[in-house]
Amino acid sequence: MVHNSYLVPGGEDECFFQECRLLQTHGHDVMTYVRDNKIIEKTPLWKIALQTLWSIEDYQKIRNILRKEKPNLIHVQNTFPLISPSIFYAAHHEGIPTVLSLQNYRLYCLNAYFFRDGQICENCINQSIPWSGIRHRCYRKSLLGSIVLASLIALHRLLRTYQREVDAFITVTEFAKQKFANHGIPDQKIHVRANFITSPPTFSKDRESFFLYIGRLSPEKGIEVLLNAWKQLDHRIELKIAGSGPLEKQVQEAAMQQSNIEYLGQQPIQEIYRLLSRAQALIFPSLWYEGMPRTIVEAFAQGTPVIASKLGAMATMIEDQVTGLHVEPGNAVSLTNAILWLIDHPHDLDTMRQAVQKDFQTKYTAMQNYDRLLEIYDAAYKTFHHRSSKIVSRGI
């Protein structure tokens, strides 16, 4: 299991360690290879840039590990920026099948979100060299960083690394699968497998009157839409906001000005579960496609419906008027109307809670995800050996 961890731990980091634990729990021998972005601060930028394109160091380390341990398969969560896609070549040179989880859109987009200046942007998806991303400095507003990342994308498009060297891909939603399949990744290699959580659901019946937002306080999450919607609502309709981020000051100001908004700051996971089990609904007004938000799965685990943007992952995870409500992305009036509708239809809300509980049990438990993961590993193994046999038959 291979992962390049992030400076600020997030969903991908949690998914990596969760999948390692899942496999170990079921008796598998799991080796981990993890690189930490903290070393970037102590490393010359030119070296990081070269390593991002093709890491000779990680290529050799992975080959040595594979020669010694001879695993059945290598599963990669993230290679950016230190490990690089060179490890896929290392794996195939040692005769080991590879699986790559696609939790974001970095194969095509410099910021990995398909989101720029407050709206969806796919300008780079069909560009052999992502010039638009360089021009707009899409990677952390850095020209140098954007050039390096654009070079990474262009190089491995030219080499067809992902098409040739990866045996199976995992996406977390059908939406993401279609996005990748429509732009170069072989459809038959892409397998959909949802994220999961291991904490037992509670399905509490003791609900309070508040609505809840949990997540990063940043523009792409629709925070401004959320706050604008609450300006239009009756002061008796409560909103609790948990999280932190660049718009934290704006949220704090809104909480001071409006008595029906409470800012809770960053909260531990157990408190998150408690809040979700008490809320009327989770509000998820994101403006970008998302991968598969763990917060939505956590809400489902607590039997809590979700009001979310009809966009990307949210549109496929939430069935309108069954497990929640869809709203128009970026539209505060649409969000306001959905909240009022839910308040005015308590019977429908109870029915949604039952549907959410069923949805969680059928899609997001650890056992189901373990079985699905083994199916994908088996598919990768077969793809690798089928490709290898074709190469041998051609005398290559």
Regarding whether 177 and 289 lie in a shared domain, the answer is no
**206 domain residue, yes or no:** no
For 100, phi then psi, to 5°, come to -125, 125
- Report the pLDDT value the prediction gives residue 254, as an integer from 0 to 100: 97
Regarding whether 136 and 221 lie in a shared domain, the answer is no
- The total number of structural domains that make up the chain: 2
Q: Is the pLDDT confidence value at 396 over 70?
A: no
Regarding whether 301 and 192 lie in a shared domain, the answer is no
pLDDT in tens, 60-101: 999 999 999 999 999 999 999 999 999 999 999 999 999 999
Regarding whether 263 and 173 lie in a shared domain, the answer is no
Regarding whether 310 and 217 lie in a shared domain, the answer is yes
d(CA 89, CA 92): 5
Mean pLDDT of the chain: 93
**317 domain residue, yes or no:** yes
Which residue would you say has higher pLDDT here, 7 or 60?
Answer: 60
Regarding whether 224 and 182 lie in a shared domain, the answer is no
pLDDT in tens, 187-227: 999 999 998 887 666 666 789 999 999 999 999 999 999 99
Regarding whether 375 and 352 lie in a shared domain, the answer is no
216, amino acid identity: R
Q: Percent of the chain scored above 90 by pLDDT? A: 83
Regarding whether 387 and 354 lie in a shared domain, the answer is no
Regarding whether 290 and 242 lie in a shared domain, the answer is yes
Residue range of the domain that includes 311: 211-363
Regarding whether 295 and 263 lie in a shared domain, the answer is yes
The pLDDT-based confidence of 42 (bands split at 50, 70, 90) is confident
pLDDT in tens, 148-162: 999 999 999 999 999
- Domain of 53, CATH number, reads 3.40.50
- Report the pLDDT value the prediction gives residue 81, as an integer from 0 to 100: 93
Q: Tell me how many degrees the CA angle 59-9-330 measures, rounded to the nearest 5.
A: 115
- DSSP run (H or E) holding 240: strand 239-242
- Report the pLDDT value the prediction gives residue 197, as an integer from 0 to 100: 83
- Domain of 345, CATH number, reads 3.40.50.2000
Whole-prediction pTM? 0.88
**201 domain residue, yes or no:** no
Regarding whether 185 and 56 lie in a shared domain, the answer is yes
Regarding whether 336 and 265 lie in a shared domain, the answer is yes
